[in-house]
Structure 1
């Protein structure tokens, strides 16, 4: 008698896992219009996508009647002693029921951990912090983490039972994260996110760019929509940029001490084009410094400057570059070639 093989192939398993992620996202209350459009596109790609999604609705309804501790025990991996016996039967001989059970378990686990957390993960602490132009500030969070805010920075902190989140609206901040293996620490910089458990790293957000520098430990940088995101793992002494092109940039070596000198009240320039140095200095000045157009922009400078006394930077520039300071009656300051 002929038997039909109903085993769940890798493609089906992947589709079911993605269906679980879509289910959690669409029931989170946080789905955006772009999410919904992408979800509809995913559904129309293959009729099986809709079937997997509908099945998860049945799974989800069932989990609502199961105590959370019982659900977690059901999602636990099988005893190690049972694995050889399963493997001995051969993959092609495993029944569709077994594969569906395993896949269904994965889907339930995804929904239980991702979906339930949206409903049952209360916010324990939430606050917004900001600094004015030229101001720096350090804040201490209830979990023991520290955040140093650089000039003109605004961010929102939200601490929950399962995760710790910071939304960096603008500016730059140094994060010294208290280790907590049960709660990741995630910084959203607009163009991407940085996820850690416990480390020290810097995130800078500008209108169209984002930079991450790791001083100690390691972080995971993620960019793109959650269903097709790109990730890079960075370790101490590495940085990465986002926004200069599609997706994530390429990790690069960086002198973290110099990059984070602002936290010590300094700016360090090493062979920096004058145009770039002026842009950096302007972050701390009440009135932006203007640079005369021309070759002067590419002249390279080096030096250590005190950002707590930004006007002293103007006094120092003519000593290290062929420039003159021209002040107008309105208070505008122009750097011109001399």
Structure 2
């Protein structure tokens, strides 16, 4: 007969706290394994050690562990499973607990005692375990170990099955990164029917899951036309912000070196869009619910700084929603330095500003992003400046000379 754990000899001089451990060893000694023996042994040792071993049992465990690399690997694998359980939230443990009766033979010890039923233990009080596994370890595990290692193994299998299901739920069905070079635009249709239009110098990291959709925008800007799916919220993570929709049209810009203060801007063309700090909690039942952040509707826009502070909501016209889709740059009372920085996202302007006073001059208009020469020719008519040859194909924007 194969034995999971060798029995310990009865010793009357042992402390009372060891009596039930000896009983466990005697019962485990009579267990005939029916599955993977090493896995069952590892599961049994794991549960025994979580309860606490005496010096003799610990020596037996160490001897078993050193017998074979397979023993060590199996034990570490089960230990990792329980470490993940310790990190699970209470709701996840409840779901696992609900599945235990289907995985284990009937056992009254699996039923937690009612508040009116006093409970005692023969062992010294153990340090409190994380709340996520308190029920499992205090009731399920103590009830299982005195029965047979097969039941103990079933608990670990049930835990592993739940964790596997959780991982399956969170595995991306589609994952791809889209990048545009300087001056390039890109139109992308996702498997869910949503459409992304990427502006120049943009990176979008797309992941579609069974219960949610996500785009990370580390740099650049994109217009989104999201296929409606109330069961799968669509999130855009841009710098400090999380932008959430269920199905609508909007644009997100995250460029730290361009015209938008702080680097983040969200504009809505149609529908509703929730804009909130990325760290803010999300209501799973209603992702667009209140709390932190703001809810934008069609014709509204908002900026945020690098810390996630959201400015006052402003109005935006349909024409100004995302003019870059038509190859144009629009600016409204924008500093000249920011206008040139926006042109530089599409290509070299060969225009330089040496005077800080000129950099602060403001300008409004809409021009073709690829026709910077037209902008340069019109600039002296809009501002009190002239262009001066600076050599090497560069031109410098300087104040209009003052006549003597």
Contact kept? 1:224, 1:230, Cα under 8 Å: no
Report the CA distance shift for 1:244/1:158 in structure 2 as closer, same or farther (over 3 A).
closer
| Residue aligned with 2:377, SS | helix
Q: After superposition, what is the alpha-carbon deviation per residue over 1:47-103, rounded to whole angstroms, capped at 9, x for unaligned? A: xxxxxx886575253145489xxxxxxxxxxxxxxxxxxxxxxxxxxxx99xxxxxx
- Corresponding residue number in structure 1 for 2:196: 147
1:116 positional shift: 6.5
1:304 positional shift: 2.1
Counterpart CA distance in 1 for 2:203 and 2:98 is: 40
Q: Considering only CA atoms, is the larger Rg found in Structure 1 or Structure 2?
A: 2
RMSD: 3.4
Contact kept? 2:177, 2:204, Cα under 8 Å: yes
| Residue aligned with 1:312, SS | helix
- Corresponding residue number in structure 2 for 1:305: 367
| Residue aligned with 1:285, SS | coil
Counterpart CA distance in 2 for 1:124 and 1:266 is: 35
1:322 positional shift: 2.2
Q: After superposition, what is the alpha-carbon deviation per residue over 1:149-200, rounded to whole angstroms, capped at 9, x for unaligned? A: 1111011111111111101010111111111122111100021110001111
- Corresponding residue number in structure 2 for 1:48: none
Counterpart CA distance in 2 for 1:222 and 1:66 is: 42
Counterpart CA distance in 2 for 1:57 and 1:197 is: 25
Aligned length: 247
Instruction: Tell me if 1:59 matches 2:94.
Output: yes
Report the CA distance shift for 1:189/1:63 in structure 2 as closer, same or farther (over 3 A).
farther
- Corresponding residue number in structure 1 for 2:241: 192
5+ residue gaps in structure 1?
A: 1-52, 68-95, 98-114
1:333 positional shift: 3.4
- 1:170 aligns with one of 219, 243, 266: 219
- Corresponding residue number in structure 1 for 2:268: 214
- Corresponding residue number in structure 1 for 2:182: 133
Report the CA distance shift for 1:326/1:168 in structure 2 as closer, same or farther (over 3 A).
same
TM-score normalised by the chain length of structure 2: 0.54
Contact kept? 2:240, 2:307, Cα under 8 Å: no
Counterpart CA distance in 2 for 1:167 and 1:211 is: 15
Contact kept? 2:248, 2:272, Cα under 8 Å: yes
TM-score normalised by the chain length of structure 1: 0.63
1:246 positional shift: 5.7
Instruction: Tell me if 1:293 matches 2:355.
Output: yes
| Residue aligned with 2:276, SS | strand
- 2:387 aligns with one of 302, 325, 330: 325
1:120 positional shift: 1.8
Contact kept? 2:169, 2:210, Cα under 8 Å: no
Instruction: Tell me if 1:258 matches 2:320.
Output: yes
